[in-house]
Structures are given as structure tokens and as C-alpha cells.
Structure 1
Amino acid sequence: MASVSSTSSSSSGVTVTTSGTTNSSSIDWSALIQSAVDAKTAQADTISTTITNNEAKIAAYQTLQSDLQTLYSGLSSLSTAVVNSLSTSAFATRAASISSTGDVSASSALSMTIKSGAAIGDHTLTISQLATAHKVSGTAQSSRTDELGFSGTFSIGLEGGSTADITVTDTMSLQDVVDAINAQTSTTNVQASIVQVSSTSFQMVLTGTEDAADIVYSSASGDDIMNELGVTDSSGSFANVIQESQSAEFSLDGIAMSRDTNDISDVLSGVTFSLLQATPDGTSLNISIETDTSQIQSALETFVTNYNAFRDEVIAQQATATDGTADSSAVLFGDGTMRNIMDALQNALNTTVAGMTMADLGLSFNEKNELELDTSTLSDILSTNLSGVTTLLSAQTTTSSSQLSVVNTGTSPQSFTLDLAVDADGNLTSASVGGDASLFTISGTTIIGASGSIYAGMAFTYSGSTSQSITVASTSGIATQLYRIAKDSSSSTGALQTQIDRLTTRDDELQQRVDDINSAASTLQSRLETQYAKYQAAIESANSTLDYLKALLNSSSSD
């Protein structure tokens, strides 16, 4: 009788057993299903790889975008040379040096603060006297905290200013009176304090918080409090004047002046003098106000750092492997957008403006093609030809009329004819270019380029009283050109963002295809599992029938 053998195999999805008279075999249904699903999803895997590659490109574009934003941000102070108190231009920053003639310490006699746009020039200052505050004191009291035992109301303040009424009760101490006066200091500008002469001697001191103004006092009712404390005498005058009030007296460039403060900000526009001590006879302070060229150097050093950072990122995207093909990390290898931006920046750097180039500033490329700055060369030209440096780097805007003053050139200066309309009362009503009055807005005598227009950032003031057409001429320096290229390229509508948006949209489309393929594969898997399960059931039923028939045959043979 032929022998019968059987084998069984199992997989994660279906277990199958088949039997035969001479051999056995197993069907791996799960492997069959997985093979069919893998064939279906193979395209999705390829598409997912494309998505991953696109994401790497997007990240690289975003890095370039960030580097360019840093680049133009650092260039903003060099891109315009407008000089006024609101300017952020490096060319508008000011520094002052103070020296002395004669036996006086310049730093001990004067300190200064200077705003951007202050007028450049040299000045001579002498200080006759400082402004001082009025200060008076009372007689000694035996205690700071004992009850004084008198009551009354008095008025106190500074001459020409506001006064306040102070009420004193008989249970109040010297400290309480001082506290009551100080509670009204914001109104009266008079401050009270207590000087402890000894353990049993305390004197009240009144001080004006403003210079050059006398303290005024009057008793309103009850006891004359200040007289009781020895601050005033029987005539009502102050008994002990520690310091008289007086104005500051000084002379600037031979012009004698006086002010009621030692902090003087209304003599030279944008300049505050802080008078510290009088200058002895025969001495003077020599003041020189100049452009703070250290700010220009600092801005150029920042530019070099930021430019090289962007350049390094571009170089990294051009790296090749040992076989000459693009390096795996160079996801933008051969990218035209990146190359065009780099070319535009290099072309701007090689611009000649008014006969000068970046080499005149000490800028050059080294053997690695990195930008370098020779600070010695820069220092020399800043000291000998600052106006040339300003023209080489920044935007310049001039007008054909002295009645139209430039407030700001913006970072994209334009040349055009500005048509100004004035009404019968001499009020400026509109500013237009080529008949379009929407390009500029009017606020009093100020003319501002409309946001979103090519004139955005430009601003002027008009002092005329008649309608007229004025020519506006602008030029762009190297820093202005670099600023505009970097800003435009990295903006929300720039070339890099266009590529980012394109790839993002493409990835969304590809991801939808992946999702559709995976969904179809999942459906196929479910259908095959159901179909193969039926096959399995049929095989098992056939095996069962075969076993039954074998049993019958074996039984007949035995009989």
C-alpha cells in the first residue's frame, strides 16, 4: 500500500495544508498577497522618494532665504544716506570729541549726547556758572519722631509753579511733616529731608527739584509751621539759605546764553550739553561733532560676514563627490534660481559708482573667493573721502528745487517728475507722477510714497506755496543694490519663495497620489485575503474528503 504523508505551513495571514500520495507542498498565501500589494505600492514608494527629495530642496531654499534676509537686514544702515534725527543710516550717526584749552578737565566739565543727523562742526564752549536749585534748612529739633505739638496749614511750591496746601496737626512729628510735604512733591517740586546733626539734633531741609527757581512759602492758618521749625524768620524770609537758586550761564562760539537747567538741548539741534562744572577764566572746551565712522566700518564688517555665510551655502550646494557627480547633500546642484541670485550679488559688488569700486573700501575676494575687508584701507578712505564712500554705498536722491527736501530715499530710490498741486490758501493738496495721484500720500507738508508702490519708503517735505513740477533724481550705491537684490529674492513673492511654493504644491499633489495608491493597495489586500481564505477553505474541504475516502479504502482492504 502506498504511503501517505502530509505537511503544513503557516504564515501571518493564512495556514495551508495539502497532502498527496508521494509528496506534500505548502502555499504561502501571505507571501502571495504581500507580493501583489508590493507590486501595487512600488510606484508610491518611488513617489515618496521624490517627495523626500523635494522637501530637502525646500529646506535648502529656506536656508538661502534666511541667509539673504540676514544679509539685507545688515545692509539697511548702509543702503541710504539720509541725514535727520529719525534716520537709521550709518552715515547719519554722530560722535563728539571734547578737548580743553587751559587748565580744565574736559570730561569733568562737560558730557554730551548726540542724536543721528546732528549738524557736523566745531564749537567752543565756556561755562560761567552752573544752574542750582534753591535749598533752605530749619533749626535743630530734638527728635525725629516726637510730637511737635503745633498745628496749622501752609502753602508751598516753586516760584512761577504750582503750590499745594499742607496741613499739620499737633500729634505730627518732624518726620510726619516731611512725609506730608513729599506727598505733594509732584505738584510743588519741593522735596523735604531730615539731616541728623547728632543723636539729639535734627534739621529739616527743603530743596527745589528744579534749578533756577526759588521756594515760595506762606502760612495759611493756625500756627506758622515753617517759623516754628526755624525755616523762616519773623519776617517770613528763609532763615538759613544753604544754596541760592541760579541759572546756568555759558557761552557757545562767543554767544552768551543762560538756561534754567544744566542739561541743555535747545542750543544745537540734536545735541544735549550736560554742564558739570564751571570753566576757570582763560579756559575753554573745544567740541568737534563728526560722522561716527566706526558705525560704517561695523556695518561693512557685518556685511562681509553675512555675504560669506550666503556664499558658503551656495558653494555647499555645488559640491561634487569623488566621481564628479553632485554630492548627496547638494540638493540644489545646478539650480538656476540660486545661481542667478549669486550672479546678481556679484555683479552689484563689481559696480563702479562715481569712479569708485569696492576695492577703494578695502573689499576684495581672497584665493578661496571669500569676501575680505582691509580695515586699514577703509579707515583711510573714511577719513579722506567720506562723501565718496557715501555715494559708492548708499542711495542718493536730489531735487531740482530747494523747496522740496528729501526726508527719506527708501531702499529702492526712483527718478521721476513730481507734480505738486497747491490750493488758493497755499495748502499742498496732491502729489502725482504722470497724472497718478495715488502714488503719494499727503500729510500737511509731508509727501510719502504709497505703500506697495515703487515709491514706497520715499518721503519729502514741501515748503513752497505754489503748484509746480519738480524733478527728483536718484542713484543707487553698491549697498543699496545688494540690499534690494537680497530683499527681493527672499521676500514672500521673491524667486526663492516661488520655488518653495512650487515644490510645496507639487508635494501636495504627489502625496495625494501616494495616498490614493496606498488606499487601492489596502483594498487589494483585503480582497485577496478574502479570496485566498476561500481557496484555503476549499483546499481544507478537499483534504477532508480525501481523508474520508482513504479511510474507506483502507477499511475495504482490511476486509
Structure 2
Amino acid sequence: MTSVSSSTSSTSTTSSASSSASSVTTTGTTTSTSIDWSALITAAVNAKLELATTISTTITSNEAKVTAYQTLQTDLSTLYGGLSSLATSVVNSLATNAFATRSATLSSTGDVSASSALSMSVSNGAATGGHTLTISQIATAQKVVGTSQSSQTAALGYSGTFSLGLGSGSTADITVTSTMSLQDVVDAVNAQTSTTNVQASIVQVSSGSYEMVLTGTEDAADITYSSTSGDDILNKLGVTDSSGAFTDALQKAQAAEFSLDGISMTRDTNDITDVLSGVTFNLLQATPDGATLNISIGADTSQIESAVETFVTNYNTFRDAVMAQQATASDGTASSSAVLFGDGTMRDIMDALQNALSSTVGGLTMADLGLSFNENNELELDTSTLSGILSTNLSGVTTLLSAQTKASSSQLSVVNTGTSPQSFTLDLTVDSSGNLTSASVGGDSSLFTISGTTIIGNAGTAYAGMAFTYSGTTSQSITVTSTSGIATQLYQIAKTYSSSSGALQTLITNLQDRDNVLQQKVDDIESAATAYQTQLQTQYANYQAAIESANNTLTYLKALLNSSSSN
């Protein structure tokens, strides 16, 4: 990089000879232009880094694929999450699927407003059907009042202790001193309400006229009272007479009396929860003679409609993500953003979903629900068609969409089918006392857990999510048969592919593992390049120092030669 040349003529003693006897040429910093050491080093190091750049491009491409796979994974998770309420159809109080939801309508016959006489709520799985209800009387709590007092804050001057309670429940002693006012007595009673179930209040009848009211907090139970020492406080306040009986009962304690479908019943509360399973009645007022309340309990089909609409939205979101990965440029090649163009797993998922959508189950297809593909191959829903078939053939829709599980014996009741229903023979063993001891399939008893009469499929097995109850008292083998509707099939496909052990996650993990290996190579190359750069900087610094030293020597020799010539 630095050339130094010299030519020396034959020795001469003349001045001109001496002047031309030596010629030195250098590219060093002293007599010529400087070498751009930095440019040389950069070029050499960049040559080393070219492979790292190529590898980094591969890493970036892989990261784009990972992001695309994760989008598909997320969209599939959303899809199967939205399908969960359609994938099963077991009807019981614990069921959360759309087919188990219930709604109730009230109407009346005769001179009564249904909403004024009754309110009600219906739980999932309640039996559907119609009922008639009449209310003879509603349950009430006892309420008594004392005589007028001139002040609610002035000291009463009474001193004594009395016992207060409700029905056969707990009682509490309440002590009154002579300095206590009517308000103080009320406060003392209310301080014990959690024990006595009796509340006190003050009613201002008019200016300078106050009366204490005692009310039971539970219906159909009488207030109990006794004076235990000192003044008879409630008698002094006019609540009781000399015999201890209440002087003025504003409301008597009574039970609710009503008739459901012609069956007369009595309850100590207006909140009736034990007449129809899953149904709560709140009795508000008695119905007049000849008037009835008409109750209709049915499936809440609006929940099914909403779930189907959600499915359409979620399916199209996933499909749009797939289509984005199949986009082409103007020349017919894959678009630069379509990093999964031609991906086999993505194609397999779409094929599986579309095959499920084209299924016929129970003689019905998705077209019967009002589902169809538009010109862009997106799902569309005709809500009027869906509403129509839900009102005329709910059982058919249930079979078309959801999992169905049946047992060959009425002694085995299906509690839950799970979202991956199976068909199998369940071998049940009962001991000599009639207790269920095991449930097995093909001799394997580790697949189910027994809890009393309940049989639960264990997590991690094919039977996870399935549950049964057994009412039999003898050992037997029962055939369990399951079918999968469209929603169940779609649910299983979406969940399987998007799970932490599914095909998409495998692809993601493999790419991330590959990127880790490639990144390590990049790091190694960059580390080696940095070391190489340091080596070159040291080496070229030595070159520069040598050149500068040589230039200094040449300068000295020239000065020496010139000095000799001049002599």
C-alpha cells in the first residue's frame, strides 16, 4: 500500500551529481496524499458482515411469518370461543350453552295486571311449558304500632329491660334507661335486628305526634315480646296492653297462598323457588276471583341467533386473514405482504372448516339456517330464515349445530357432552351396598372420576368435559352414542389448530427456534467482524507508524545528502 523506490547513480563528487544521485517516492503522509485507512477497514469488515446481513433478512422474513401465524391462531381462538355456546346442547341448571337459556312471558286473564301481581326469573335448563297461577294472598310480616309520643328526642323517663324476637327464632334483651328518648329506644332495637329479626322505626303522624313501629323482617312470623325487669317499656309506649298483647297491629303475619296449575300451595315467603325447578316466582299481590296469571317458559332463541351472528363475524375475520395471505401482485406473483402464500397448513385449516360447513346433520344444512357464501366467498346470514326455523324446528337446529349424546339406559343421565363428544361402551361397577365404585372403557378405569353417583371424564383424556349421573344399583355396561353438529365440528377444528400444541403453534415454535439459531450466527459473525475491525485498526496503525518513520528517515537522508553536496 506504500511503495518506496530509490535509485543511486555512481558516486560523484560534483554538486549536480550529488543532487540527482538519490530519488525517493512515497505515498506516505509526509510527501504525498494520505491513505484512507478507515475506508479500507470498513470495506474489509463489511465483506465479513455480508453473510450476517443475508441471515438477518431470513430472520425478518421468519418473524413476518410468525406474526401471520399468530394472527391466524388468535382468529381461530376467537372463532372457537364464540362457538362454545353452540357446540353443546345439554339442558340443565349448570349448562351455559345457548340452547339451555330460557325466557318467560307473562299474561293475564281477568281483571289483573300480570306484571303487578307477579315477577319471575328463569334459570338455564328450566323445563319449558305453560302454567297458570292464582294468588289467594301474599306472605306478610307482622307490623305493630304504639301510641303517640310528643317528642322523639326528649328523655322518656322509663327504665327497664325487655326481650324481643320473631317467631321461634333468637331473642335479645334490650335495656332502656330513664335518659333515653324514643329515638334512642328505636336505635337500641335496631342494634339487635340481626339477632331478633325485628326492626323499629318512627312515624311522625303530625306535628308533635310520633309513634314507634315494630316490623318483622321475615314473613309469616309473629313478633314475640316480654318485659323482663323494671318498667314495661312497650306497654308504656302503647305498643302492648296490660296483658302483653299488641294494641294495634298494622299488618298481621301470614303465609303466601297460591295455586299453580290447580295445585294449592302455601309458603312462608313471597319468593318461591321450590315449585318449578329453575324458576323463581315473586308474588306481588293477590289475584281477584276469576283472574289467572298465564306463564309460558321457552328457549331463549335470541341467544342462539346472537351466537350464530357472532360465528359469522368470527369466521369471516379468519377467512379475511387467510385471503390476505393469498393476495397476488399485478404480475400474478405473491404479494409482498402475503408471507404465507401457498402455506399448506393454512390451506388445510380452510378446507377442514369448509368441509364442516358443508355437512348435513339430521337432514339439515347450513342453508336451512339462512347461511350462505356471497360472491367474495364470505359467510352471510339471513336472519329472517334463522328466526323462522328456530320457531318451527328448534330441535332440528339443535341437532344440526351441537353435540348430542345419548345413553342406551335411562339409568345413565347425560349431564354434559363436552365439546369433543365420544361414542363408547361405559362399564359400570357397583358394590354389594349399591354404591358406584368405578366406570371404565375397554377395561381402563382411569378415564373417569366417580363422585357419588356422578361420573366425570378426566382432563387430558378423550372424555374430558363429559359427565353423567347413574341411578342404577347394579353393575352394567351402557352404550353411549354421540354425534357432532356443524358448530361442534368447527369448534374442534378451530381449537385443535390454535391450541398450544396445535399445528400453528408448532410452526411458530419451529420458526422462533430457527431464528434463535440464526440470530446466534449473526451475533457470532458480528462479534468476529468487530474483532477483525480491531485487528485491522491495530495493523494499519502499525503500517501508518512505519510509513511515518520511513518518511522521517527519508527526510533525514535527503537533508544529509543535500548537506554533503553543498560541502
- TM-score interval for Structure 1 and Structure 2 normalised by the shorter chain: over 0.9
Counterpart secondary structure, 1:57: helix
d(CA) in 2 for partners of 1:373 and 1:160? 61
1:420 maps to 428
Distance in 1, Cα, partners of 2:260 & 2:531: 93
Equivalent residues of 2:186, 2:200 under 8 A apart:
yes
CA distance in 2, matches of 1:39, 1:370: 51
TM superposition shift of 1:249: 1.1
User: What is the alpha-carbon distance in structure 1 between the residues aligned to residue 72 and residue 196 of structure 2?
Assistant: 61
CA distance in 1, matches of 2:271, 2:548: 106
Query: Residue 79 of structure 1 aligns with which residue?
Result: 87
| 2:141/2:253 contact within 8 Å kept | yes
Matched, 1:17 2:18: no
Q: Does 1:247 align with 2:248?
A: no
Separation (CA, whole Å) in 1 of partners of 2:54 and 2:435: 70
The alignment partner of 2:367 has SS state of helix
Q: Name the amino acid aligned to 1:153.
A: T
1:107 aligned partner: 115
Q: Deviations over 1:251-300 (max 9, x none)?
A: 11111111111111110000001111111111111111000000000000
TM-score of the two chains, using structure 1 as the length reference: 0.96
Further displaced range: 391-400 or 346-355: 346-355
CA 1:4 to 1:105, structure 2 compared with 1: closer, same or farther past 3 Å?
farther
Aligned residue for 1:99, secondary structure, equals strand
Q: Which residue of 2 aligns with 1:121?
A: 129
Match of 1:529?
537
Q: Is the 8 A contact 1:7 1:25 kept in 2?
A: no
Q: Which runs of 5+ in 2 are unaligned?
A: 1-18
Deviations for 1:457-484, whole angstroms, at most 9, x for unmatched residues? 0000000111100000000000000001
Q: What residue is the counterpart of 1:202 in the other structure?
A: 210
Letter in 1 for 2:152: R
- Quote the RMSD (CA, aligned, Å): 1.5
Q: How many pairs are equivalent?
A: 548
CA distance in 1, matches of 2:333, 2:376: 21
Measured in 2, the distance between the counterparts of 1:469 and 1:497 equals: 40
Greater mean deviation of Cα atoms: 543-552 or 397-406: 543-552
Counterpart check, 1:480 vs 2:488: yes
Choose 1 or 2 for highest CA Rg.
Answer: 2
Give 1:453 shift.
0.2
Equivalent position of 1:466 in the other structure = 474
Q: Shift of the alpha carbon at 1:34?
A: 1.1
User: Matched residues, percent identical?
Assistant: 78
Question: Structure 1: which 5+ residue stretches go unaligned?
Answer: 9-15
1:371 correspondence with 2:383: no
Instruction: Give the match for residue 11 of structure 2.
Output: none
CA drift of 1:18 comes to 5.1
- Counterpart residue identity of residue 313, structure 1: A
After TM superposition, the structure 1 = structure 2 runs for residues 426-465 of structure 1, keeping only pairs within 5 Å, are 426-465=434-473
Shift of 1:556: 3.3
Partner secondary structure for residue 204 of structure 2: strand
The equivalent of 2:331 in structure 1 is: 323
- Are 1:389 and 2:401 an aligned pair? no
CA deviation after TM superposition for structure 1 residue 7, in Å: 10
Structure 2 residue 152 is the aligned partner of structure 1 residue 140: no
2:277 & 2:546 partners in 1: Cα distance?
Answer: 103
Distance 1:7 1:477 in 2: 90
CA offset digits 1:377-399 (Å, max 9, x no partner):
00110011100000000000000
Aligned to 1:130: 138
Q: Does 1:37 align with 2:45?
A: yes
Aligned residue for 2:362?
354
Letter of the aligned partner of 1:253 in structure 2?
D
How many angstroms apart in 1 are the aligned matches of 2:448 and 2:359?
Answer: 31
Counterpart-to-counterpart distance in 2, 1:282 and 1:6: 130
2: CA distance, partners of 1:83 / 1:100: 29
Q: Which amino acid aligns with 1:316?
A: A
Contact 2:24 2:554 in 1 (8 A): no
Deviation of 1:418 after TM superposition, in Å, equals 0.3
Contact 2:105/2:296 (8 A) holds in 1: yes
Amino acid in structure 2 at the alignment position of 1:17: T
Aligned 8 A contact 1:6 1:18 in 2: no
The one-letter code of the counterpart of 2:390 is L
Retained in 2: the 8 A contact 1:157–1:163? Answer: yes
Instruction: Name the counterpart of 2:9.
Output: none
Contact 1:6–1:17 under 8 Å retained in 2: no
Q: Distance in 1 between the 2:487 and 2:24 partners?
A: 90
Helix, strand or coil for the counterpart of 1:346?
Answer: helix
Equivalent residue, structure 2, for 1:410: 418
Q: Partners in 1 of 2:248 and 2:517 — Cα distance?
A: 91
Q: Which residue of 2 aligns with 1:12?
A: none
